[in-house]
Amino acid sequence: MVPTGAVTLDFKSGGKGIAFGKVAETDSIVDSAWPIRTAESLFTAGKTSVGDKKSGIVLSSGAMSLCANSPYIDFYYQNAAVKTSTIKEASSGHLSVNGAELYSNTIKCSNWLRSSGTTGWYNETYGGGIHMTDSAWVRVYNGKGFYCGGELQAVGKLTANGGLSVAGTINGSAFKCGYVSITPVANTPTKIHISTSFSGTPRICVTANSTVIGTTVKGASIANQNNTGFDIYINRSNTTATSVNWIAVVG
């Protein structure tokens, strides 16, 4: 018989189920229509303590301990039949959240690390980072410099709003420089051909490395410039080998 009054404690027929505050309707289960409060810890699956090396859950004041050889939690969004997320402890101090690997001091993932708004990555030790404040530019945070030990490449262009400091050589298909030694025929413009590639026809400046410009060295010039090279001419009154410096710019 199903009672019609208020039910405090009910046993299912046959003694296989028990319920508090409602009718016992299921075998081998303790059911409750009321909130359950315990003054101490609540253990499941035969556990007696967190450290007893048995699988199960321990609920204690302000904490929940999940104990197993490979403990995990599956989430089913809005009672879906298929789990939508999983948090798993893959090894000691190593959590896997839907495939993203979270270590005690490292994050590994096979997809994007995402931020929103004007935030990004920030280094608390040195105060710098990478972030965005608009849809056009990726920015270095807090006025820090950006250092690249290898090659820095731009498919478009590099723009310097301040100065440009170069410790090595600037090379490219639009800007090149160099020097060459020419042994001339006396009092005769003598040329040497520079073979190199440019992205277009360059504008070229040449200057002779000499202290007797206008007297012994009568002049240095270029001719026949195109995207595959150019000629450098030197004219001096004797046959002394002369170094000529050149700079070529396309644009």
| DSSP3 helix / strand / coil % (the chain, rounded to 5) | 0, 40, 60
Q: Kindly state the average pLDDT of the residues 137-158.
A: 91
Q: Among candidates 42, 43, 23, 21, which has minimal Cα distance to 32?
A: 21
Query: Among 23-37, 41-55, 231-245, which stretch is predicted with the lowest mean pLDDT?
Result: 41-55
pLDDT band at 211 (very low <50, low <70, confident <90, very high): very high
Q: What percent of the chain has pLDDT over 90?
A: 44
Q: Kindly state the average pLDDT of the residues 148-161.
A: 88
Distances in Å between the alpha carbon of 36 and those of 26, 33, 212?
A: 18, 9, 103
Number of H helices, E strands in the chain: 0, 20
CA distance 147 to 176: 24
234 pairs with which residues across the strands?
A: 190, 220
pTM for the model stands at 0.51
Q: Kindly state the average pLDDT of the residues 168-180.
A: 83
Whether residue 123 sits in one domain with residue 86: no
> Does 172 or 118 have the greater pLDDT score?
118
Give me the pLDDT at residue 3, please.
54
Q: Among candidates 199, 175, 193, which has minimal Cα distance to 229?
A: 193
pLDDT band at 5 (very low <50, low <70, confident <90, very high): low
CA distance 103 to 93: 6
State CA 177 to chain mean position distance: 35
Residue 123 is encoded by which pair of tokens? Answer: 């280094």
CA distance 243 to 179: 7
Domain containing residue 100: 72-108
With 0-12 CB in 10 A as exposed, 13-18 as middle and 19+ as buried, what is 102? Answer: middle
> Does 245 or 70 have the greater pLDDT score?
245
Whether residue 239 sits in one domain with residue 181: yes
Q: Kindly state the average pLDDT of the residues 236-250.
A: 96
Name the residue with tokens 């595959």.
228
Residue 245 in domain? yes
| pLDDT over 60 (residue 1) | no
Whether residue 197 sits in one domain with residue 244: yes
Residue 64 in domain? no
Whether residue 144 sits in one domain with residue 188: no
Q: Among candidates 194, 172, 189, 195, which has minimal Cα distance to 250?
A: 172
The number of distinct structural domains making up the chain is 4
Whether residue 126 sits in one domain with residue 103: no
**pLDDT tens string 193-207:** 999 999 999 999 999
In which order are the strands placed within the sheet that holds 129-131?
120-122, 129-131, 139-141
* Helix extents (H) in 86-234: none
Whether residue 94 sits in one domain with residue 134: no
Q: Kindly state the average pLDDT of the residues 164-188.
A: 87
CATH at residue 221: 2.60.40.2080
**pLDDT tens string 98-121:** 888 888 788 888 888 889 999 999
Residue 95 in domain? yes
Q: Among the three residues 56, 84, 108, which one is the final residue of a domain in this structure? A: 108
